[in-house]
Amino acid sequence: MGYLRLKDWPEGDRPREKLVRFGPAFLSDTELLAILIRTGWQGRSALDLARELMELNNLSLHELGKMRLDGFRKIFGERKVYGIVIQAALELGRRRESVGLPLRTKITSSRSVVDYLRPLLKDRFQEEFVGIYLNQAGEVIREEWLSKGGISSTVADIRLIMRVALESGASSFVLCHNHPSGALQPSPADLDFTRRITSASALLDLRLLDHVIVSERGAYSFADHGQLG
């Protein structure tokens, strides 16, 4: 017996029709994924594929957000479009959580940095560094993604950080990077880097206001722990 295509289901059971009638909050995670997948494959409906992805692989949405395209290929084979669409949708969700700091927004605390950057950084596969550059009034004048590294570390170029600050006419800046491992405590390399960047910025009459580490478990502020310089 062939599989029953979603369009052949009773209208009240089809994910798309349910969304139109009741709204997206009414649908399960699996049904929402089925809408993204759209079409069946190899005798499975889009909903079958969504169930296989979530239930048979024992995945939560949190884990799904961290999956690479290679992981989707192990499930869907060469139908890589499924993984591409799902990754794009999850990335849009992350960006919606953090729509960006408008220029001239004031940075007043480590919390404001975390609220902005954590949604963007917490699910990254590798360590990444971001700089937020401020004018004398503490207003954002530039945001710069500074480096990407491996699973456990990244190397941020102090000269690049300083160059961006000078080109922007910044008076101060905040640095932020993620820990894909989930660990929040700074590593010896993190502590050493923060000391060096603090010294370098002082030579150029700039001020490092904070260095923040974010992960799926929370955030760590060097400034709040008295560890700048």
Within 8 A by CB and 6+ apart from 227, the residues are 186, 191, 194
Is the model's pLDDT at 93 over the cut of 90? no
Between residues 155 and 181, the one the model is more confident about: 181
Q: Are 185 and 225 within 8 A, CB to CB?
A: no
**190/157 Cα distance (integer angstroms):** 13
Q: What band does 229 get if pLDDT is binned at 50, 70 and 90?
A: low
Helices (H), 38-79: 46-51, 61-65, 69-76
- Which helix H or strand E contains 147, and what residues bound it? strand 140-148
Q: Which residue has the tokens 């399960």?
A: 28
Q: What is the tens place of the pLDDT at every residue in 35-92?
A: 888 887 777 788 888 888 887 677 777 778 778 888 787 777 777 788 888 888 887 7
Domain ranges of the chain: 6-97, 110-221
Q: Give the single-character DSSP code of 49.
A: H
Measure the CA dihedral 9/4/85/127, to 10°. 110
CA atoms within 13 A on the CB side of 99: 3
Q: Which fold has domain 110-221?
A: Cytidine Deaminase; domain 2 (3.40.140)
Report the pLDDT value the prediction gives residue 102, as an integer from 0 to 100: 59
Within 8 A by CB and 6+ apart from 65, the residues are 90, 93, 94, 123
Between residues 52 and 175, the one the model is more confident about: 175
Radius of gyration of the chain measured on its C-alpha atoms:
22
Q: Are 125 and 180 within 8 A, CB to CB?
A: yes
- Tokens for 79, please give them: 């139908």
